[in-house]
Amino acid sequence: MNKKNDRKLMILSILVAIIMWAFVMTSTNPSLSKTIRSVPLTIKNQEQIQEQGYAIVGKDEVSSVNVRVEGARSDLIGLSSEDLIASVDLGSASEGIKTVNVKVNGPSGIRVESITPSNINFKIEKIVEKKLPVDIKIDDKIKDSKIIEVAEQSPTEVSVKGLRKNVDKVEKILLKVKDEKVLDGKIHDIGIIPVDKDGNLVEKVELSQNDVSISFDVLASKEVDVKLDTVGSLPNNMQIKEEDINPQKVVIKGEAAVVEKINSISTKKINLSEISDKNFEKSVELEIPNGISLNDNDGYVNVSFKVGK
């Protein structure tokens, strides 16, 4: 009989405990902790960074964070990741690695205990710009024996813009002429590319424009002798000996019809009657015919000779 009473009392005690627990849970609101996982992470002030002339080139591979929160049971029951806002504020920019703390905002009555991860690393680089002249390279196959010169060109310089590490690689802006058709004297738009010191294309940079308007003059050329031209006579029946002209030949250029008629270029006249020294040495200007110019020469030659009987 006693055993039956004991069993009844035990069952009664359990029922009373359950009723009391239910009463406490429904009539009171205890403080609890809870971990909210995968709260989306927002990056603030990215546009401001770009306006300041910087760019984010790398960051920790984190798109969400886990947040440990504390609050009343009633506030935590329905709390989800959508109710929390996790963000990092980049603020003012500077080059290098920037570590930014994660901040979380939530509903009233919710306190943030911890955030995992608590900070995010960003790699920031400066966006720079520089101007470079357009370097024109004409294919040897279409040069032949012709001399090709730029008649008109716009622009002569182009700006290159991008991350510092990429812009620093750009050595020049290259314009390649591969088609003989563009040598017709008319203006053509020809594409340009940024290249490094080895002539390789540099990617991930922007040019202020992608082509250049340009026309060419195609000139005939020929190598001709340089001849000494003198006036007057040396005193005392003296004569010129061991004459030397350096260079002895020059390359002339111009329209084919004009170039064909010229076989030599003379120096400006040297007045022999004014020579008193036995050794003559002087830089003498060349007499350039109309319609002709020299290729790779400043228009002067060095003349030297000895005077004797």
CATH of 129-220, picked from 1.50.10.10, 2.170.120.40, 3.50.50.60, 3.20.20.70, is 2.170.120.40
SS3 label, residue 18? helix
| 29-117 and 228-308 share one fold | yes
- pLDDT tens sequence across 165-223: 999 999 999 999 999 899 998 999 999 999 999 999 999 999 999 999 999 998 888 89
pLDDT exceeds cutoff 60 at 1:
no
Fold observed for domain 228-308: RNA Polymerase Alpha Subunit; Chain A, domain 2 (2.170.120)
Q: How far apart are CA 261 and CA 277, in angstroms?
A: 37
For the chain, which residues make up each domain, given as ranges?
29-117, 129-220, 228-308
Pick the CATH number of 29-117 from 3.40.50.11900, 2.170.120.30, 1.20.58.1610, 3.40.50.720: 2.170.120.30
Strands 292-294 and 249-254: antiparallel
Beta bridge partners of 207: 160
pLDDT for 255 beyond 60: yes
With 0-12 / 13-18 / 19 or more C-beta atoms within 10 angstroms meaning exposed / middle / buried, residue 54 is: buried
Tell me the average pLDDT across 285-293. 93
* pLDDT for 27 beyond 60: no
Write the DSSP string, 199-216: SPBPPSEEES-SEEEEEE
**Single-letter amino acid code for the residue at 279:** N
Does residue 139 surpass a pLDDT of 80? yes
pLDDT for the residue 77: 86
Secondary structure class of 257 (helix, strand, coil): helix
Task: Tell me the average pLDDT of the chain.
Answer: 89
